[in-house]
Structure 1
Amino acid sequence: MTRPALSGRVAVALVVVGAVLMLVPLLWVLALSLKSNAELMADTHSVFNGRYTLQNYADLVGDGQVFRWIANSLIVSLGMTAGVLILSSLAGYGFARLEFPGRRLLFVIVLFGLAVPEQAVIIARHQLFSWAELHNTHGALILPGLSAPFGVFLMTQYFRAIPKEIDEAALLDNASRFTIFWKLLLPLTIPAQATLGIFTFLSAWNDYWWPLISATNKEMFTLTVGIASTQMNFAQTEGLGFLMAQAVFAGLPILIVYLLFQKYIVQAVAGAAGR
């Protein structure tokens, strides 16, 4: 066997080992979610026994509030994702293709937004939404997430990588700027949009900090806040199986979204590496 072939097999073996190590905690959580809480309280090693049950999931779904929380999470996540894609694409096109006074300074200000943590503005944000009486609404949960400096930066870089000859040829054919953006350039950025959309959806779905502050009405809880509200004291020891079922239930939609759009992430990474 040649040295390059041996090196390739070793690399593949290391990747497989790394993948297995990453899957072990997930499989452990799944196994715990299929065990009764009584057995796990007696001995957590009972997870290796053959008696499994779906009772934890039945108890979780049996609470009608869960479906309301799922609906809230979907509304917030999809609304935020759509808003970020629209605004980031428009801003990215403007920064990459248009000339206007203060363009560079404004772009630098946007980049500064990447360095500002959410916790630094949480008090001002809370007061602003309180003044506007928007708390306990879907708008309050969606609007803060529309400020996405990373999305603007990502789309700006992708638009800059597209040859400007496309714009010039379209302008010679009397195409408007919006037509060039919508019909010519935007389809070329689908991998970047898919990646940005997935990360935005994931971030919105898993967000706990702002929904916990803004949504005080149980009817407006997102899934993360709602599930956390069902946990009693010592939930980790008294209801470990139920707790793991909640974790699986909350993570399943994210897994489905990732599997559906996985190819776009690969295309985006490959395109970025090529550039």
Structure 2
Amino acid sequence: MSTSTPLLRRGAFDRLVLAALVLLALVWMLPLLWVLGLSFKPNEFLAGHTDVIFSGPFTLENYLDILHTSAVFRWLGNSAWVALCQTVGVLVLSSLAGYGFARTEFPGRKIIFAMVMFGLAVPAQTTFIPLHRLFSYWNLQNTYAGLILPGLAAPFGVYLMTQYFKAIPPDLEEAAMLDNASRLKIFFRVVLPLTVPAQVTLAIFTFLGSWNDYLWPLVIATKPEMYTLTRGLASTQTNFAQSEGLGFLMAQAVFAGLPILTLYLFFQKYLVTAVAGNGRH
């Protein structure tokens, strides 16, 4: 009787915590459900009612208006290409830099690493003016290079991969060195495959940040054919979008978020593993 009492109390506490987490999740999802519900409402109806989202009338007109925008698939392709290139570039550069900081000794290593970490404290917006002047001088406005290159500087990626490489036992590399394997071969065949959870986590965060980026494409892309999806959809909004086209505005938000949601659903296992710290062995 005395043994079962603590177990019952622990079970009741666990259920209480679970109920609290479910409640918080529902509260967190309410704005998303509100956005989704409004996206299926006629704009004329939303001009006078924004509090009724789960009952009629419903329409697909807002999504059809997005698809009827002639350049929307061009913008979608631009966003996908920019986000993909930035993700691949960040993975390559962060992995090489992280391995160098974690496993090699070279003059000024600690100072250089501290300078990289200092980049985490610098808001990206503070670099827009010098970057714009530099890219204008190089004639990189309205080019994919102009959209992609600034995103390759990823201090967080370097930090994440450095810490992940440090957590890998050096014995694995020492065994490979005894077989006369080069440092580059050890990196690609022994160490890098062990960092898949961290790589996927970094890829998701990088892709998400690039896909949702609005300010830099607003600065560097001035021609409609070079707009990313966020920049392009924003250009289709009127000055009275909140009052006259609220459903269209919400449909744009849902449309822009669907690729990210799909990406997360496919790779959530790796993301959870990396955050939990169980993917190092």
1:231 aligns with 2:242: no
In structure 2, what is the Cα distance between the partners aligned to 1:45 and 1:128?
Answer: 48
Q: Which residue of 2 aligns with 1:180?
A: 186
2:51 match: secondary structure: helix
Q: Which residue of 2 aligns with 1:161?
A: 167
Q: Which residue of 2 aligns with 1:115?
A: 121
Letter in 2 for 1:160: K
Deviations 1:152-175 (A, max 9, x none): 010000001111111111000011
1:204 aligns with 2:210: yes
Identical pairs, percent = 60
1:47 match: secondary structure: coil
Equivalent pair of 2:194/2:279 in contact (CA under 8 Å): no
Deviation at 1:100, TM superposition (A): 1.3
Letter in 2 for 1:199: F
2:277 match: secondary structure: helix
Letter in 2 for 1:154: L
In structure 1, what is the Cα distance between the partners aligned to 2:239 and 2:205?
Answer: 32
Deviations 1:48-68 (A, max 9, x none): 433211111011101121001
CA RMSD of aligned residues (A): 1.5
Q: Which residue of 2 aligns with 1:150?
A: 156
Deviations 1:183-220 (A, max 9, x none): 11001111111000000000000001110000001100
Structure 1 residues 114 and 77: alpha-carbon distance in aligned structure 2, compared to 1, 3 A threshold: same
Equivalent pair of 2:167/2:280 in contact (CA under 8 Å): no
In structure 1, what is the Cα distance between the partners aligned to 2:34 and 2:126?
Answer: 36
In structure 2, what is the Cα distance between the partners aligned to 1:93 and 1:272?
Answer: 19
Q: Which residue of 1 aligns with 2:97?
A: 91
In structure 2, what is the Cα distance between the partners aligned to 1:156 and 1:274?
Answer: 13
2:139 match: secondary structure: coil
Deviations 1:49-106 (A, max 9, x none): 3321111101110112100100000010000000000000000011111111111111
Q: Which residue of 2 aligns with 1:36?
A: 42
Deviation at 1:273, TM superposition (A): 11
Instruction: Detail structure 1 runs of 4+ shifted over 4 Å in the superposition.
Output: 272-275
Letter in 1 for 2:247: G
In structure 2, what is the Cα distance between the partners aligned to 1:215 and 1:107?
Answer: 32
Deviation at 1:24, TM superposition (A): 1.2
Structure 1 residues 60 and 163: alpha-carbon distance in aligned structure 2, compared to 1, 3 A threshold: same
1:68 aligns with 2:74: yes
In structure 2, what is the Cα distance between the partners aligned to 1:45 and 1:105?
Answer: 55
In structure 2, what is the Cα distance between the partners aligned to 1:9 and 1:49?
Answer: 33
Q: What stretches of structure 2 of length at least 5 have no aligned partner?
A: none
Letter in 2 for 1:51: P
1:257 aligns with 2:256: no
2:243 match: secondary structure: helix
Q: Which residue of 2 aligns with 1:125?
A: 131
If each structure's helix is expressed as a fraction of its own residues, which one has the higher value? 1
Letter in 1 for 2:12: L
TM-score, structure 1 length as denominator?
0.97
* Correspondent of 1:100 among 102, 106, 109: 106
Q: Which residue of 2 aligns with 1:50?
A: 56
Deviation at 1:42, TM superposition (A): 2.8
In structure 2, what is the Cα distance between the partners aligned to 1:96 and 1:74?
Answer: 32
1:135 aligns with 2:131: no
Deviations 1:226-252 (A, max 9, x none): 011000011011001111000100111
Q: Which residue of 1 aligns with 2:200?
A: 194
Q: What stretches of structure 1 of length at least 5 have no aligned partner?
A: none
Number of corresponding residues: 275
